[in-house]
Structure 1
Amino acid sequence: MWSDHAPLTIQLTSPLHKPKTMTWRLHENLLSNPQVAQDIQQALTNYFAENLPQDTSPLLTWEAHKCVIRGILISHSSALKKAQEHTIRELTAKIGTLTQAHKRTLDDTLLRELTAAREELARVLRQS
């Protein structure tokens, strides 16, 4: 069959489709971390020393410094999240091992260790 129609492009979007937009939010507990505060202070000192106002407009310097600080905070937040996920995985594995051992032996020492591991996991999960 022969067609002389021009090619068409069609784009359909469902009314149910909601694109995910990532909005970054500051975790206030990062600011109470002395290492984070020190890194921010050092970054601000370096940033404003390297980006003198006569080189660029003050507005551009101000907007760019916010991006630098946001990057530092995201970096620290990511590192803390990875460490927390690692701790959760370790505690979950430990709880599984202790549960199996306690089922076999019914030892009170294992029960105390199991209870302590569960409490530690609950504490870590509350912090997240």
Structure 2
Amino acid sequence: MRNYPVGLEVKCTIGNITKGANLRAGQPRINALEGITWQAHHQEVKELLGLVWDFVLNEKDFNYPKVTAIFYANNLTQDDWGNISGTRGRNTKVTGMKVSGKQKMAAGWVALIDDYLYKQVYQMIMKFSI
């Protein structure tokens, strides 16, 4: 959707986990979560619906992937995105969201899972209040 006149980008993240956390597929990440960031392939993302997901235990004692938070900003600028990496060779080109972009996303939180631990961790990391 780069430079498209209308539309909304949607990005998902499971977040940044503690180095060496040694988590297996299907294990919840919330106890090892250190940050939440979204990536894009260019710095022109102005409007973003950012989803955060994790493996969440259901009533059948199985951890399913589940959206645990939704954030939104329609005022992002190029300055809210970092330098583009992977510009050489066959690597995928990506840019990570800077703190300024995360602040805008946090100000536009839309929904949170009804779970005390998730709410507490997300509020601490993204620095917003309910």
Give yes or no for TM over 0.5: no
TM range (shorter): under 0.3
Which TM-score applies when normalising by structure 2?
0.20
Which TM-score applies when normalising by structure 1?
0.20
- Relative to total residues, which structure has the larger strand share, 1 or 2? 2
- Relative to total residues, which structure has the larger helix share, 1 or 2? 1
